[in-house]
Chains A and B, each alone.
Chain A
Amino acid sequence: MKQENSNPSDHTKSASRTQRLAVLALLTAAALMIYAIESLLPTFVPIPGIRLGLANVITLITIKRYGARDALLVLLARIFLSCFFFGQFMSLLYSLCGGLFCMLVTWLICLLLAGNYLWIISIFGAIAHNLAQLAVAFFLTKTPGVLAYLPFLMISAILTGLFTGLCAHFTLKHLPAKR
């Protein structure tokens, strides 16, 4: 009797876990693809650290739809895989510091705003990402001169964060509802 009860629930549970795994893998693949395409684009501004950060759209979508834990998994998978595929070991440190600090701030602001106003969440994530990368740059070069990039990086973070936030917002509108 007990087994009959537990079996169907086990079945649905494992099915939903499989589905979650598939969805997260899909999101990771999408993030990797966006990252790869973005790295092929020529740099618009010849300033290190200024980039669109389109792969963050996937992080935002994941955190909004599936929560911070899954978003963290997708982010880490994307960073490590992109390093193995396209990058060199050096960029891992930058990506990890930027990505993790961005994730932390995104999560906190997301809690504060209860998941609304995705563009604000995204802007703060971008600011955190750029701050963390500048900190790594400062740590690596040990030259205070790199701090001259701070205002440029902040302005670009606000603009690109707004853009990626709006991208995520409109993408979420068109994605089929979570089942």
Chain B
Amino acid sequence: MKKLPSPRKTAILLTILILGILIACAGFLLFSPKRSHADRLIAEIYQDGVLIKSIPLWEVTASETFTVRGQGGEENVIEVRNGSIAVISANCPDKLCVHQGFRSDTLLPITCLPNHLVILLRPEAPENGGQSDALTY
């Protein structure tokens, strides 16, 4: 049977690995090019991986709410305001999507795992700037 390296040695290696993961993640978060507070954000609502709604948030003048329903009776009430979007109520048990509140940056998507719902924010693509106006609203 192959002998394992001493626990002490392994511990040092594993600690270095942990620190490496920590630094990599922190670095990624700090210098992430994806983070954007751009004025023109598009909210994309996915359910089961299918884009069901795409909203140019800068075009929202008055706040409005709508409900996304799933096949299993899931319901998420979503509110859009000028420049931000939130799930304001949901019938899932943990309500984590509601706790995420209004989001206006691209750092993290809003997710409701029990209802398979993901709301992604992305800046308007500069190369096809006119296209977003034609998307379903």
Q: Is B22 an interface residue (CB 8 A)?
A: yes
B7 and A112 contact, CB distance less than 8 A = yes
A117 and B11 contact, CB distance less than 8 A = yes
Residues of A within 8 A of B57 (CB): none
B96 and A43 contact, CB distance less than 8 A = yes
Docked pose: A141 CA to B15 CA in angstroms: 33
10 more A-B contacts (CB under 8 A) besides A111-B4, A141-B46? A48-B94, A91-B114, A109-B14, A112-B7, A113-B10, A114-B4, A116-B7, A123-B18, A143-B120, A146-B118
Task: State which of A24-32, A56-64, A74-82, A148-156 sits at the interface with chain B.
Answer: A148-156
Q: Is B64 an interface residue (CB 8 A)?
A: no
A155 and B10 contact, CB distance less than 8 A = no
Interface size of B as a range = 35 or more
- Given that A46-B100, A149-B108, A155-B26 are contacting pairs, would A141 and B113 also be in contact in the complex, using a CB cutoff of 8 Å? yes
Docked pose: A43 CA to B99 CA in angstroms: 8
Docked pose: A88 CA to B34 CA in angstroms: 35
Q: List the count of A-B residue pairs having beta carbons below 8 Å apart.
A: 100
- Given that A43-B99, A46-B101 are contacting pairs, would A148 and B109 also be in contact in the complex, using a CB cutoff of 8 Å? yes
A158 and B18 contact, CB distance less than 8 A = yes
Closest-CB distance, A154 to chain B (whole angstroms): 5
| B96-136 contact mask (Cβ, 8 Å, vs A): 1 or 0 | 11011100000111010110111010000000000000000
| A104-121 contact mask (Cβ, 8 Å, vs B): 1 or 0 | 000001011110110010
Docked pose: A127 CA to B49 CA in angstroms: 25
Docked pose: A73 CA to B117 CA in angstroms: 33
Closest-CB distance, B47 to chain A (whole angstroms): 8
B contact residues vs A (CB 8 Å cutoff): 4, 7, 10-11, 14-15, 18, 21-22, 24-26, 28-29, 34, 46, 48-50, 93-94, 96-97, 99-101, 107-109, 111, 113-114, 116-118, 120
B15 and A120 contact, CB distance less than 8 A = yes
B109 and A112 contact, CB distance less than 8 A = no
B118 and A88 contact, CB distance less than 8 A = no
Closest-CB distance, A105 to chain B (whole angstroms): 11
9 smallest A-B Cβ distances: which pairs?
Answer: A142-B49, A151-B25, A46-B99, A143-B118, A145-B120, A114-B7, A48-B96, A145-B109, A113-B7
